[in-house]
Structures are given as C-alpha cells and as structure tokens.
Structure 1
Amino acid sequence: MPTFEGRFTNVSDLRIAVVVARFNDLVTSKLLSGCLDCLERHGIDTSASSKQLDIAWVPGSFELPIVAQRLASSANYQVVVTLGAVIRGDTPHFDVVVAESSKGISAVARETGIPIIFGVLTTDTMQQALERAGIKSNLGWSYALQALEMASLMTVLPPRKLS
C-alpha cells in the first residue's frame, strides 16, 4: 500500500504565487510577513528579484479567487497561497464575503489541479485577527508550510487521468 506525503526539501525549482487582500492590511501584511519568513527559512528566494515567488495584491478577500485562478491557470506556479482577513461587523456582509471567497478558492483548486492554500482569517473581532497574524502566533507561517507540503505532495501523486 503506497503512502503519499509532501516533503519540505528540494524547493529549488518551486514557483509560488501569493495573493494578498489589501482590505484589513494591518492583518494581511502581518500574514504575508509570516508567510515570507517561513518560505525563506525553507529555501525559497523571497527577494524582490526572486524567480520563485510572485505576490499579487487585490482589493479584498472577495477578489482573491479570480486572481488565484488567473495565476493557477498560467502554469507558472506549483501552488498559490491566498491571504485575507474578514472580520465580522454589524451587517451580513461578512457572511457573503466569507462564503464566496471560500467557495471560489476551493473551486479554483479543483478546476486547475493546482493547490490553492486558503489563508483567509475569519474572525469576530480585530483582536482575534491580530492574534492569528502575529500577536500570539502567525498563521501566515502555517499557510506557507501548507503550500510547501502540497506542492511537494502533488509531485508524488499518480498523474491525473484525462477523461
């Protein structure tokens, strides 16, 4: 019985795209910093002239799926990380944005066959979001680890059958 697992080594040929929502950038910029720190510590070139990493900024979490789809469909990346923060307010807007961004991001992964990491914080308060973006721990680091593992895992899985 084969066991398939991703590894965190041999990242020299890995190309990663990160899509970051500008809305709540106090939080998302911290998530991005944690993500980049993890990638760099695992051997990814995160410099401004990097050939391994591209970063795209979008207005908000609702726009993450369309840009993730464009990047994943380009065949230039083995994995795409989406980073956003949706904080509950007094209106149902939170529910709409969370539902559509999560459905859209998962649809992109299924349609393209490229792993799309869902790094969208969904919290009730700004304090909770800040805690998850660095005050207590930085989930951006975890999203980067997921990206490395999934990119590696995809290389050892059996190939997709075209129907």
Structure 2
Amino acid sequence: MATFEGRFTNTAGLRIAVVVARFNDLVTAKLLSGCLDCLARHGVDTSSTSSQLDVAWVPGSFELPLVCQQLARSGRYQVVITLGAVIRGDTPHFDVVVGEASKGIAAVARDTSIPVIFGVLTTDTMQQALERAGIKSNLGWSYGLEALEMGSLMAALPPLD
C-alpha cells in the first residue's frame, strides 16, 4: 500500500503564485503578510527579487479565478494561493461574489491539476475578518502551509498517463 503525504520541508524549486484581492485590503494585506511569513520560515525565498514567488493583485475576490487560471496554465507554478475577504452587507452581492469566486477557484484547480488554495475569508462583519487576519490568528499562515503541503504532495503523486 502506498501512502502519499505532503511535507513542509525541502521547498527548493517550489514555485508559488499568490493572487490577492485589493478590495478589503486592510484584511487582505494582513493575510498576505501572514502567508509570506509562513513561506519564508519554511525556506521559500520571499524577497522582492525571488524567482520562487510571485504576487498578483486583482481588484476583488470575483476576479481571483481568472488570474489564477492564467497563472496556473502558464506552467510556471506548482501551486497558487488566493487571498481575499468578502464581508456580508445588506444586499445579496455577498452571495454572488462568494459563490462565483469559490466555484471559479475550484474549477481552476480541477482544470489545470495545479493546487489552488482557497484563502478567501467570508465573514459577516469586518471585526470577524480582522480577527481571522491577525487580531486573534492570521489564517494567511495556514494558507501558506496548505500551499507547501499541496505542492509537495502533488510532486510525490505518480504522474498521469
């Protein structure tokens, strides 16, 4: 019986793209900071001259899937991380954005066989979003760990025929 698991070490050669929504950047910038901290502490070069990591900014969470798709199809990255924050308001806009972003991001992963980490916070209030982006804990760190694990796991799996 073969058992496949991802690891958090030996990150050399792992190319990661992070796509960040600018809308609610008070939250998403904190998620990005936590994510980059995690990646750096696990050996990923996060410097501005890094050839291991690229960051793309998009207007909002609705635009995440399109840019993820282009990056995943480029063949340059082994994993893509999405970071966004959608906060419920008084209109159904929240449901539309969350639904389309989540479906689109999942479709990119399935269509390209590149792991895409879903790092889009969906909260009822700004306070909840801020708590998840650093006041209590920073989920950006968790998204970074998920990327390392999935990148490693995909490399360990047998190739497709």
TM-score category of the 2 structures, normalised to the smaller one = over 0.9
Map of 1:1-163 to 2, 5 A cutoff?
1-161=1-161
1: CA distance between counterparts of 2:160 and 2:117? 20
Unmatched runs of 5 consecutive residues or more in structure 2: none
Instruction: Work out the CA distance in 1 between the residues paired with 2:109 and 2:157.
Output: 16
Q: Which runs of 4+ in 1 moved over 3 A?
A: none
CA RMSD for the aligned pairs?
A: 0.5
CA distance in 2, matches of 1:127, 1:108: 30
- Counterpart-to-counterpart distance in 1, 2:10 and 2:40: 13
Listed as ranges, the gaps of 5+ residues in structure 1 are none
Alignment: residue pair count: 161
Give the 3-state SS of the residue equivalent to 1:80 in structure 2.
Answer: strand
User: Which amino acid in 1 is paired with 2:65?
Assistant: P
- Which deviations, in whole Å up to 9, do the C-alpha atoms of 1:116-158 show, x marking residues without a partner? 0000000000000000000000000000000000000001112
Distance 2:67 2:160 in 1: 24
The aligned amino acid for 1:139 is: L
Q: Taking structure 2 as the reference length, what is the TM-score of the superposition?
A: 0.99
Partner Cα distance (1:67, 1:86) in 2: 18
